[in-house]
Structure 1
Amino acid sequence: MITFPCAKINLGLNIVAKREDGFHDLETVFYPVPLTDALEVKLMDEHFPSEVACDLKITGNTIDGDEQQNLVCKAYNLLARDFSIPRIHAHLYKRIPSQAGLGGGSSDAAFMIRLLDERFRLNIGNAEMERYAAQLGADCAFFITAEPSFATGKGEILAPVDTPQHNLNGYYLAIVKPQVAVSTADAFKNIAPKRPLKCCRDIVRQPIGTWKEQLTNDFEQTVFAVYPQLADIKRSLYAQGALYAQMSGSGSSIFGLFNQAPNEIEKLFSDAFVFVTKL
């Protein structure tokens, strides 16, 4: 059985408070986009000599580190504590760039939970799957349904957002991810939490033409100071006719929304990962 974990972009991202547990409360609108990985699960033969219950193979984009520490394996092990799940072979083909603010790892974990639930008829239900996913990462819960959502708390408290879908239908999305990796921990270091004048949930209900002056990502100020090339990409997207451009998450991807297909983007950023699609 195979599934295709999708990426996300953030429409606005505001760090509103520092929590007692050391984390931060935020407000953002998660929006799914059709840039995907591929995740396949097959039963492991009972005689196959494996020391692990989830035998993971990763191809495509290189991911450093022990594969058993990948969120796909962690998702399997999390469910295996509470459910009887057979040993499996999992193949993850990575296309979503890492450390890009696109949620690729979180999506892989959530889609693994969904895949195991469907394949082995666990009948967990979306609400319970979201609770499992939230244990693996702050934005993992969003990917259980992967529908536009207003997120608060650490990103795990979700509420439906129905208007961005209508706002973005028919627009073109361009994502540019240069050869820069931004650590989320580093991005948080110099953040000064504050509430915005207007909540991103309300701004995205407005016409996109109003977003440039009102819809902000609090990480841009600190991240752009360290990586000025990201600010240059954002300016270039506006120069190419973007109606709105922003860094996604804590970086390092910059996305732009366009009325017409931005045909020069791939040529302009030939040394970067570029993804263009119609929404």
Structure 2
Amino acid sequence: MLVFPNAKINIGLNIVEKRADGFHNIESCFYPVGWSDALEITLAESFSFHTDGIAIPGSTKDNLCTKAYEMLASDYDLLPVRIHLLKTVPIGAGLGGGSADAAFTIKALNQLFDLGISIEEQEQYARRIGSDCAFFIRNRPMYCFEKGDKFDTIDIQISGKWIVLVNPGIHISTVEAYSGVVAKRSAEDLRTILSGPITEWKDRVHNDFEATLFKKFPLLETIKDKLYDLGAQYAAMSGSGSTMFGIFEHEQNLKPDFPHFRLWQGFLK
């Protein structure tokens, strides 16, 4: 079975408060984009996990795909499989690539073994792996809150617009990103703003990580400014970075403008 775990962007990211468990409550719109890995799962005599493409740090037993398999295998006595992941979505980039891989592993195993696990149950399994992992089960634009693992519908009209994602190769850990953040509630409701025209987002839809990370990594702000200079209707950092994105009214080819960075561009669905 071959599936293609896609990335997501954050459109707005408000860090609301620190929780008693050490995590943070957030408010954000998670929006799927087409930058994808390739994940193949086949039956095998013994379990194995292999990767190609971008090198993934850590041991294979700690990979989220392995954890997803072991979790389901424990509950459903699954036969062994061989998992092969071609990694193309940058790591530590604010795109949720690892979470997507794990969520798509859950969905693929459910289909491969005909387990009959409901969408809600798949989301519960995904929440045990990571805060944003559950989003990729339904994999559609959602308003996300609490740890980023609770969802509600959102009225956002950007389907058909062109998006450009620029990754400068700066790895930012979650701990590093949160270290300089002061949690606070936003003065405006994010869902209300995003239901309006994109031309009104620039000064109203913010990613709270930008204030401190732009000081530490000035290149990120430079990329954001350049996306606006090139005609983006809205530009921001995704998640805790370092990927920057610009949303455009019409198709662009910005590869010549960012020759030294990883770049993905395509239409939003």
**TM category, shorter:** over 0.9
CA contact (8 A) 1:191 1:218 kept: yes
2: CA distance, partners of 1:32 / 1:160: 14
Q: What's the offset of the Cα at 1:128? A: 0.6
Give the match's secondary structure for 1:82.
Answer: helix
Q: What's the offset of the Cα at 1:184? A: 1.0
1: CA distance, partners of 2:13 / 2:163: 18
Q: What's the offset of the Cα at 1:170? A: 2.1
Deviations 1:75-134 (A, max 9, x none): 001111211210010110111111110000000000000000010011110001001100
2: CA distance, partners of 1:91 / 1:170: 32
2: CA distance, partners of 1:37 / 1:200: 30
CA contact (8 A) 1:11 1:200 kept: no
Tell me what 2:248 maps to.
Answer: 258
Tell me what 1:2 maps to.
Answer: 2
Tell me what 2:105 maps to.
Answer: 112
CA contact (8 A) 1:240 1:262 kept: no
2: CA distance, partners of 1:184 / 1:236: 26
Q: Give matches, 1:178-197, under 5 Å.
A: 178-197=168-187
Q: What's the offset of the Cα at 1:67? A: 1.3
Deviations 1:36-69 (A, max 9, x none): 1111111013xxxx5xx3x011011111221121
Greater shift, 66-75 or 193-202, is seen at: 193-202
State the 4+ residue runs in structure 1 displaced beyond 4 angstroms.
none
Find out whether 1:25 has 2:25 as its counterpart.
yes
1: CA distance, partners of 2:229 / 2:177: 26
Tell me what 2:14 maps to.
Answer: 14
2: CA distance, partners of 1:179 / 1:82: 38
CA contact (8 A) 1:14 1:28 kept: yes
Find out whether 1:203 has 2:193 as its counterpart.
yes
Q: What's the offset of the Cα at 1:262? A: 2.4
Picking from 146, 149, 170, the partner of 2:142 is 149
Residue identity opposite 2:137 in structure 1: I
2: CA distance, partners of 1:147 / 1:179: 27
Q: Which structure 1 segments of 5+ residues have no match?
A: none
Tell me what 1:83 maps to.
Answer: 76
Q: Which structure 2 segments of 5+ residues have no match?
A: none
Q: What's the offset of the Cα at 1:258? A: 0.5
Pairs aligned (count): 268
TM-score of the two chains, using structure 2 as the length reference: 0.98
Residue identity opposite 1:269 in structure 2: F
Residue identity opposite 2:256 in structure 1: K
2: CA distance, partners of 1:181 / 1:202: 32
2: CA distance, partners of 1:190 / 1:80: 40
Identity between Structure 1 and Structure 2 (%): 43
